[in-house]
């Protein structure tokens, strides 16, 4: 998907919501457990109920891998089911030496047709570049993550430019690809730092996890980093997909997604 | 597997060789392609031919994921086939927020019975700890990797202690777990830095990739970092498993593994 196509979807739906499909077999409503593939059935109903309010879907690959080969099939069916107009993110946090990253790229971009993948930067340029060799596909590089452990290494000051490591990651990697191929993960739990990050990469999309269960605020994130061309995908997982676990779970997820979208509409009107 | 059990295997086989199962369907000998599962068939024959000379096997997860659900089945069969006396490493380079890392741990330690997994440190302590909750299982944390991109971020000097990031990763993370649960990945392409790393973590095993195709030397690595209790697992992938691609591929892989083991025997006699 191109940047223009993504922006078109955002304007069409008045939304920059990404729904995180962290689908946990132990949290799926019990009445789905009788189906052949409860994880896919859950995702299908969630997608149907939220697709008018979400521009992106982000399956969290760990939740599928934990189910072995069957989970991998549920993942494949899920990606195939997501409408092509939506942006798909393999939240995989991969990254390895060149020939291995190339295999991961093949797994997520060719075997499955994800539009993008989250990538960990620790192994440097040649671990990221194989993912950049696919036209219309995106790398979403971890910069400043939403978890408490982000302070262990990401916040360390690096002597080279006397800036935190996550800023160094952004300034170095932004030379590897343009804003039509590269996004960054920045946690909603860091709204202050997000302003600085926005100034470093004024045109790159930021994928923002950490709203909701992790304590971040959509308002703070939007104020800090929205641009004329939006430049944000804000993820919500548990707050939407597990809003209810009874038979009405999908329609309640749809209502929650709509509430987020309505709040986003306000910020789009205000800032874009 | 406990550290004592691993050391017992090393002494029994006079070897600290890890065979990397980077099994690429496009490189498997043609005569195997007719079998139901060529990847597993290849691995099975390689394991049979090398098991007298190797103490560890390291499937590179990307190569299996690139084949989708079928690849995941080949991986499961491979792990099940490796003799229990051998140490198994899921070379997965995972790492995510706590509840997600817990899912990856479940995938590799419970769904499949790997002894260990390689983990990327960028997301910090709460991304690593879920992997440390399993008795007898190991985290092998990326420290200073063998690829050229290791110089992009890992070598940056961090102001906190005025040391390279990879040393900071080691000194910080070595407080999270003991040397009975934590190993480090250090590339064979950095023998000089390996001496310093050994002084930082005198009792932790180092998993060393990068001998052979990537240019590292077994001699240099052994001189730099072997200890009285060995403390090394040196990986070879392409140099062993793709030494030949004709019908004799397995016996030639076995010969190559034996050559490495014989060289290791010399270093064990000299230093341990």
Domain ranges of chain B: 3-271
Using pLDDT thresholds of 50, 70 and 90, give the confidence band for residue A151.
Answer: very high
Q: What are the tens digits of pLDDT across the range A12-71?
A: 999 999 999 999 999 999 999 999 999 999 999 999 999 999 999 999 999 999 999 999
Give me the mean pLDDT over the A153-169 stretch: 95
- Report the chain A residue with the minimal C-alpha distance to residue B167: A153
**Mean pLDDT, chain B cut into blocks of 10 residues (272 residues total):** 98 98 96 97 98 98 95 97 98 96 96 97 98 97 97 95 96 98 97 96 97 89 98 96 95 98 98 94
Q: Which residue has the tokens 């006397």?
A: A162
Residue from B78, B103, B139 whose CB has the most chain A CBs within 10 Å, to mutate:
B103
Q: What is the pTM of this model?
A: 0.97
Do A123 and B94 make contact, defined as CB atoms within 8 angstroms?
Answer: no
Q: Within a 13 Å sphere around the CA of A224, how many CA atoms are in the beta-carbon half?
A: 24
pLDDT for the residue A256: 97
Mean pLDDT value across chain A: 97
pLDDT for the residue A213: 75
User: For chains A and B, what is the number of CB pairs under 8 angstroms?
Assistant: 195
Question: Which residues of chain B lie closer than 8 angstroms to A160, CB-CB?
Answer: 156-157
CATH classification (class only), B3-271: alpha beta
**Pick the residue with more confidence: A159 or A269?**
A269
Using pLDDT thresholds of 50, 70 and 90, give the confidence band for residue A10.
Answer: very high
Is 80 exceeded by the pLDDT of residue A88? yes
Burial B92-125 (b: 16+ CB within 10 A, else e): bbbbbbbbbbbbbbbbbbebbebbbbbbbbbbbb
User: Which tokens hold the place of A58?
Assistant: 């982000």
Hey, which bits of chain B come out as E strands?
A: 17-21, 56-59, 87-94, 116-119, 138-144, 157-158, 163-164, 182-186, 206-208, 232-236
Which residues of B are known catalytic residues? 93
A80 touches chain B (CB under 8 A): no
| Cα B272 from Cα B267, distance rounded (Å) | 8
| Cα A240 from Cα A237, distance rounded (Å) | 6
% pLDDT > 70, chain A: 100
pLDDT for the residue A164: 98
Point out the residue among B68, B72, B147 whose CB comes nearest to the CB of A127. B147
Is 90 exceeded by the pLDDT of residue A94? yes
Give me the mean pLDDT over the A235-240 stretch: 95
Q: In what order do the strands lie in the sheet with B163-164?
A: A163-164, A157-158, B157-158, B163-164
Do B156 and A151 make contact, defined as CB atoms within 8 angstroms?
Answer: no
| Cα B218 from Cα B259, distance rounded (Å) | 12
pLDDT for the residue A240: 96
């Amino acid at each position: 998907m191109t940047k223009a196509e993504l922006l078109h979807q955002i304007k069409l739906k008045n939304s920059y919501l990404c729904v995180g499909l962290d689908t946990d077999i132990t949290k799926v409503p019990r009445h789905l457990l009788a189906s052949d593939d409860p994880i896919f059935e859950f995702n299908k109903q969630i997608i149907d109920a939220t697709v008018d309010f979400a521009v992106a879907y982000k399956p969290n690959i760990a939740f599928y891998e934990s189910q072995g080969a069957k989970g991998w099939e549920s993942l494949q069916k899920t990606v195939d089911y997501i409408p092509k107009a939506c942006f798909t993110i393999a939240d995989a946090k991969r990254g390895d030496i060149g020939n291995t990253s190339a295999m991961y790229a093949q797994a997520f971009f060719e075997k499955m047709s994800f539009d993008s993948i989250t990538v960990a930067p620790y192994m440097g340029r040649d671990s990221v570049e194989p993912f950049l060799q696919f036209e219309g596909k995106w790398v979403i590089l971890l910069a400043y993550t939403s978890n408490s452990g982000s302070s262990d290494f990401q916040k360390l000051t690096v002597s080279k430019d006397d800036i935190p490591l996550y800023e160094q990651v952004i300034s170095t990697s932004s030379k590897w690809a343009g804003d039509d191929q590269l996004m960054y993960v920045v946690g909603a739990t860091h709204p202050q730092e997000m302003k600085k990050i926005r100034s470093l990469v004024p045109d790159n999309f930021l994928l923002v996890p950490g709203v909701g269960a992790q304590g971040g605020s959509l308002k703070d994130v939007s104020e800090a980093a929205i641009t004329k061309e939006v430049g944000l995908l804000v993820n919500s997982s548990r707050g939407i997909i597990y809003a209810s676990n009874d038979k009405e779970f999908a329609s309640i997820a749809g209502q929650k997604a709509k509430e987020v979208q309505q709040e986003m509409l306000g910020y789009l009107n205000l800032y874009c």
